Each structure stands twice: as C-alpha cells, then as structure tokens.
Amino acid sequence: MKAREIMSADILSVDENTPVKDAVQIMARHEIGALIVQTPKPTFGIFTQNDLLVRVVAEGKDPEKTKIRDVMTESVQCAQAEDSVDELVRVMYEENVRYLPVMDGRKLVGIISATDLFEVIFRGAEGYQKEVV
C-alpha cells in the first residue's frame, strides 16, 4: 500500500498571516489536527495541535493576536505519493511527527496522519502487508 492510497486529498490551508484563533476554529470545525500554511516562499509550513500546545498555550501567547507564521513548523517533513506504509511509519517515528504532507514530485497532493496509518496497520486494510526486509 502506498501513501497515495491512504492520504486525504482534502487539504485545508491557511495564510501565514491568519490569527491562531481562526486557524484553530477551522481545525475544530473540520475535526482535523493540522493545517498547511501557505507562505510567499516556494515551500509551505504546517500548523498542528502540538504547535498550538507548545508554542501558543505553554508560552502564554494570545491566540487572537498571534499569527500562524510565528508558531508554525517551518521545516516540514514530507512523504512522496509512492512511499510505502513502512516508510511512512519510519519517517513519522524518526522525525517525531504525526502529520506528513504528501507530495507528487514537487506538488502537494494530500496529507497523512498517524491515525490514518494506525487504521491501515491495525485494521489490516486490504492491500497492506508488512514488508519483509
């Protein structure tokens, strides 16, 4: 099974100038744990529940006044659409991330959460077999 078969192609994003409160409201409304952050650079950022906890709440920042650009993760670890489940698990574990944007070459095509992977592994989703190395 490959990343493209697991990912959600519904990618929600916000502009880097979005207040944290607005971003969190979007996340709550859609019941998701991460948003892609659009920046003027050719790359993008990600804002996750962990960013909210560590960089906003723990630091006592005002979510109405704090901009996403100031608390997002800038260096985003990504997966490729053809990556295997085992590769996705390895990257999430080694990089200590719960969300992986999925790229097809240089184009963002989806996002995978740790929960998406758990479902594939633990429910034995059709087509997944542990790779023997």
- DSSP character at residue 46: E
Domain map (residue ranges) of the chain: 3-122
CA distance 22 to 20: 5
Q: Tell me: the pLDDT tens digits for 2-24? A: 999 999 999 999 999 999 999 99
Q: Tell me: the pLDDT tens digits for 45-82? A: 999 999 999 999 999 999 999 999 999 999 899 999 99
Q: At what angle do helices 114-122 and 85-95 cross, to 10 degrees?
A: 140
Identify any residues that bridge with 78 across adjacent strands, giving them in sequence order: none
What predicted TM-score, i.e. pTM, was given to this entire model? 0.87
Mean pLDDT of the chain: 92
Residue 112 has pLDDT above 80, yes or no: yes
**What is the homologous superfamily of the domain 3-122 according to CATH?**
CBS-domain (3.10.580.10)
